[in-house]
Amino acid sequence: MKVYKGVFVKVNGQQREMTFAKLEDMDADFLSSRLVGSGISHTATEGMELVWDIESDNFRFFNYKTQIGEIEELHTVDIT
């Protein structure tokens, strides 16, 4: 799976540096083992992408509308 690093400005005005994987690059078994909930779909607003935050080990949104600089592709890792 590809891993990326990017910086964006959060809603509260703070900068956030995030190391993340895009869901489209992730193993289906890994994703399905972490999907828990009521079945209610949450829709991201325009410019937001649901990603897997490597450091917090959880789903987060990356805000492309407030992105600072370029997103860097770091490497490929195997997480399970």
d(CA 34, CA 36): 6
Residue 72: per-residue pLDDT: 95
Query: Is the CB of residue 45 less than 8 Å from the CB of residue 54?
Result: no
Q: Residue ranges per domain, the chain?
A: 2-76
pLDDT for residue 67 is more than 60: yes
Residue 44: per-residue pLDDT: 72
pTM score, two decimals?
0.78
Within 10-80, strands assigned E span 15-22, 48-53, 58-63, 67-76
As a whole number, mean pLDDT of residues 42-69 equals 90
| pLDDT tens-digit map of 4-50 | 999 999 989 999 999 999 988 888 887 777 776 645 556 678 899 99
